[in-house]
Structure 1
Amino acid sequence: MKKIIAILLIACFCQLTAAQEKTKTNSENFNSFLKKFNEDKNFQLSRVKFPFAIKTLNDDLEEVSVTMTQKNYKILKLDDKGMEFKQKIILKQKSAVIEQRGIDTGIYADYIFELKDNKWFLKTWVDQST
């Protein structure tokens, strides 16, 4: 009986490991996604779930939460070709953050993405630019 239980546990573990590897293999590459996100307006809109909350600074430089609707959304260009900021991508298994930090400017923003069903989506952003 103990041998049967051990064999079943090993078989379950092997199936779980294989399923996890398959998920990793089928996940969209973030850099490829980001390139298309920056180049194709329709693709970008398809990878944003509206409405969503963002954080930004009000006129008194206090952080406030604002609901972003598709009507108010402006197409983003999240490439690192700007001369007025540095951009860094922090990539994790199911999330990614694009940090933009100004060079002698007030730019300070984080764009947060999440991996859902093996596809990347813009989740929110925090813009503390002054």
Structure 2
Amino acid sequence: MSCKNENQKEEIEVIEVEKDTIEVVNTKQVEEVEKVEEDFLHFLEKFSKNHLFQEERVNFPITIQYLDTNGDFELVELEIKKEDYSYLNFMKPAEYLDYKQNFVINDNEAIVENRGIGNGIMIDYIFKKENGIWKLKTWIDQST
């Protein structure tokens, strides 16, 4: 991932309005705020450590899929409201995990794959980049 800086200047006319006439008083240069493309791994660290930041980066209610192990072992959808959401931490030390984490990162999509070590854990967390910032869009839990 790389940072992408784009500086654009736009001319804005400042006008003065008096009764029925409009006059151009002066023109000034306005520099657009730099757009910085967010690095996924740095984002994920902050997402894991800061609950307020995490709330900002999830559009609630979020719809996820999970494997219905009480039925036909099919994926079913579940909508999670903000008040029912459990915070996620992707930055746990490896020795505390009973799964491996893999990262598949493309330009505008990233997937954090959690794969259990002999325990049936299989969850994919899907993030999408919108306007240069990462957001958690959904996850698919196929754990048995």
**Which bracket does the TM-score occupy, shorter chain normalised?**
0.7 to 0.9
* 2:52 counterpart residue number: 42
* 1:76 counterpart residue number: 88
* 1:53 counterpart residue number: 63
Find the structure with the greater CA-based Rg: 2
* 2:75 counterpart residue number: 63
* 1:5 counterpart residue number: none
CA–CA distance in structure 2, aligned partners of residues 66 and 77 of structure 1? 20
TM-score (norm 1): 0.78
CA–CA distance in structure 1, aligned partners of residues 111 and 101 of structure 2? 10
Bigger shift: residues 109-118 or 79-88:
79-88
Q: Report the alpha carbon displacement of residue 80 of structure 1 after superposing the two structures with TM.
A: 5.4
CA–CA distance in structure 2, aligned partners of residues 83 and 75 of structure 1? 16
Count of residues in correspondence between the two structures: 109
Q: Report the alpha carbon displacement of residue 88 of structure 1 after superposing the two structures with TM.
A: 0.3
- Closer/same/farther in 2, CA of residues 119 and 34 from structure 1, 3 Å limit: same
Q: Which has the higher contact order (CA 8 A, sep 6+)?
A: 1
Q: Deviations over 1:45-99 (max 9, x none)?
A: 1100011210002222321011121121100112353431010000000010000
Bigger shift: residues 59-68 or 118-127:
59-68
**Which residue type is aligned with residue 57 of structure 2?**
R
* 1:11 counterpart residue number: none
CA RMSD in angstroms, aligned pairs only: 1.6
Instruction: Please identify which structure carries the higher helix content.
Output: 1
Q: Deviations over 1:23-65 (max 9, x none)?
A: 7x72111111000001001110110001121000222232101
SS in 2 for 1:74: coil
Instruction: Please identify which structure carries the higher strand content.
Output: 2
**Which residue type is aligned with residue 63 of structure 1?**
L
Q: From 118, 133, 141, give the equivalent of 1:119.
A: 133
